[in-house]
Structure 1
Amino acid sequence: MVSDIDKYIDLHTHSTASDGSMSPGELVRHAAKCGLHAVAITDHDTVEGVDEAADEGRKLGIEVIAGVEISANYKPEMHILGYFFNGAHDNIKPALSRLRENRDVRNPKIIKRLNELGFNISLEEVEAEVMGSVVGRPHIAKAMLKKGYVKSIEEAFDKYLSTGRPAYFKKDKLTPEEGIKEILRAGGIPVVAHPIYLYHTWSELDKLFGNLVKSGLKGIEAYYVDNSADDTGNLLRLAIKHGLLVTGGSDFHGSFKNGIEIGVGRGNLKIEYVLLEKLKKAANV
């Protein structure tokens, strides 16, 4: 029997339900093959891949955690991870449906702007790249790549789709406080994803976490693929100061994020099962 000390997990992954390259079932099989004991499916603004992943997990004996990554409006964006147990993820679906409607309003605007820039791309071509329920900028980038307009997904974002680029349109989002409250209302555990991407000083993050705790924030993603050792150490200290849970993940997207492997990131991650045990305890599981 493997002790919990020797069990490793990944609490941040994406499937074809949003912008990953692997189906939920494939992702779970890959996680099992890589020796993980638990994996969370945290697709953008959807939980549609969770049930397929959970079914595969039961077959393989790997624990699957229902999760989601909600986009919140904050300088210019913050991502809030939500973790759910015992079927509670179904409760978040109405809120996520509203977020998907916002994407549906934005996508035609992006396509129209790309057409104006000389790219012959239709919304139907973009939707053909989608295997899940969420259509977003990664699928538009994939359609651009397929038609030879760019050499990579990254180039599509860097030149056209990212904030400030010619085909970028702001999406209506929840505030961080609203995202946290929606996750709590559904019975989940809200966690700030990859805090280093907020590009704050440590004192600014300290103040931010203090404010978000008042809204019900329960944790931060202190172990992340792009963290330096100092980043992780500082985040762990802030977690202790504010009484926050700690999570960790690779942000795995399959082939859509080359060089990042499930569970280990770029070889710099080793996320212990004990973090999941603490998450479960907080959820009374």
Structure 2
Amino acid sequence: MRIDLHTHSNASDGTDSPAELVRNAAAAGLDVVALTDHDTTRGYADAIAALPEGLTLVTGAELSCRLDGISMHMLAYLFDPEEPELLAERELVRDDRVPRAQQMVARLNALDVPVTWEQVQRIAGNGSVGRPHIASALVELGVVASVDEAFTTDWLADGGRVFVEKHETDPFEAIRLIKGAGGVAVFAHPAAAKRGRTVPESAIAELAAAGLDGIEVDHMDHDRPTRERLRALAGELGLLTTGSSDYHGSRKTCVLGEYTTDPEVYGEITRRATGAFPVPGTGGA
């Protein structure tokens, strides 16, 4: 059983539509895929409508969080998307994305980079605008060779020349909100140091004490020693360990099913969740 619990569609910063994503997941030989767009659930309906027979969809989201000035992401699985507290927080984070992106475009213009807001809007389409869309604009203009190259301190990385902070949820509050909506909380790529500063292991222990369910261990941004260290830490703290591709379509090099989650861990996630249930495919559209 092949299970990928972290993917993105163009409802946020992926390039596949939700329907394309689930069809591609089935073609990649996955049995279960989670749709975890940034701070939004807008892709659910289209993904469910197109869900191929034999593929199960786990509904979720990746919540933008910040702890002691360090950006981090919390994967929320199988929560009730209409629960009012978590819905209000997602909307607050999502609504702050537009003025933040506009400020980053202005900073690029001040550096004589001719990115326009219209260009970024075109790339984002109906998705929640974010740094990857601005990075794609820089690639289009030939300023950088790849999206990854845009995420350096020269450009868009945390603390970079054009970086602008946005509203992000306190992770302890995120856990409370996810649990209140019947969901399961997993800390995404906790040791992805190439993305910027990471929270210390002491903070992960505090999050575990506050109800964190698991940590994403098998991920492209974790090398083997890091994965081994995180797996040992999860064992000490009684946390679940997941594996995922963090697929973004053509925007990143990761591929569906590159890393996967153990079926027993998936079963435990579904047992803990009370806000929603996995959706089995019935043939799709």
- TM-score for both structures, normalised by structure 2: 0.87
Whichever residue aligns with residue 63 of structure 1, its letter is: T
Secondary structure, aligned partner of 2:191: helix
Whichever residue aligns with residue 90 of structure 1, its letter is: E
| Alignment partners' CA distance in 2, 1:42 and 1:76 | 21
| Alignment partners' CA distance in 1, 2:161 and 2:34 | 34
1:65 maps to 2:58: yes
Unaligned runs of 5+ in 2: 278-285
Partner residue of 1:89 out of 75, 81, 95: 81
Partner residue of 1:279 out of 256, 269, 272: 269
Unaligned runs of 5+ in 1: 1-6
Of the two structures, which has the highest relative contact order with CA contacts closer than 8 Å and spacing of 6 or more? 2
| Alignment partners' CA distance in 2, 1:90 and 1:30 | 28
Superposed CA RMSD: 2.0
| Alignment partners' CA distance in 1, 2:189 and 2:226 | 10
Identity, % of aligned pairs?
37
- Does the aligned pair in 1 maintain the 2:4–2:32 contact within 8 Å? yes
For residues 213 and 29 of structure 1, do their structure 2 counterparts lie closer, same or farther at Cα, with a shift above 3 Å needed? Answer: same
Secondary structure, aligned partner of 1:187: coil
Partner residue of 1:47 out of 35, 41, 50: 41
- Does the aligned pair in 2 maintain the 1:81–1:190 contact within 8 Å? yes
Q: Which residue of 1 aligns with 2:178?
A: 183
For residues 213 and 229 of structure 1, do their structure 2 counterparts lie closer, same or farther at Cα, with a shift above 3 Å needed? Answer: same
1:126 maps to 2:120: yes
For residues 163 and 227 of structure 1, do their structure 2 counterparts lie closer, same or farther at Cα, with a shift above 3 Å needed? Answer: closer
Q: Which residue of 2 aligns with 1:4?
A: none
| Alignment partners' CA distance in 2, 1:11 and 1:32 | 14
| Alignment partners' CA distance in 2, 1:54 and 1:236 | 33
- How much does 1:200 deviate? 6.0
Partner residue of 2:109 out of 115, 119, 122: 115
- Does the aligned pair in 1 maintain the 2:13–2:127 contact within 8 Å? no
- Does the aligned pair in 1 maintain the 2:6–2:247 contact within 8 Å? yes
Secondary structure, aligned partner of 2:124: coil
Q: Which has the higher helix share?
A: 1
Aligned length: 268
| Alignment partners' CA distance in 1, 2:221 and 2:104 | 29
| Alignment partners' CA distance in 1, 2:252 and 2:173 | 29
| Alignment partners' CA distance in 2, 1:271 and 1:240 | 16
- Does the aligned pair in 2 maintain the 1:67–1:82 contact within 8 Å? yes
Partner residue of 2:141 out of 144, 147, 163: 147
- TM-score for both structures, normalised by structure 1: 0.87
Partner residue of 1:193 out of 153, 165, 188: 188
Q: Which residue of 2 aligns with 1:137?
A: 131
- Does the aligned pair in 2 maintain the 1:72–1:179 contact within 8 Å? yes
Partner residue of 2:208 out of 209, 213, 230: 213
Report 1:245-256 matches (<5 A).
Answer: 245-256=240-251
- Does the aligned pair in 2 maintain the 1:48–1:132 contact within 8 Å? no
| Alignment partners' CA distance in 2, 1:60 and 1:83 | 21
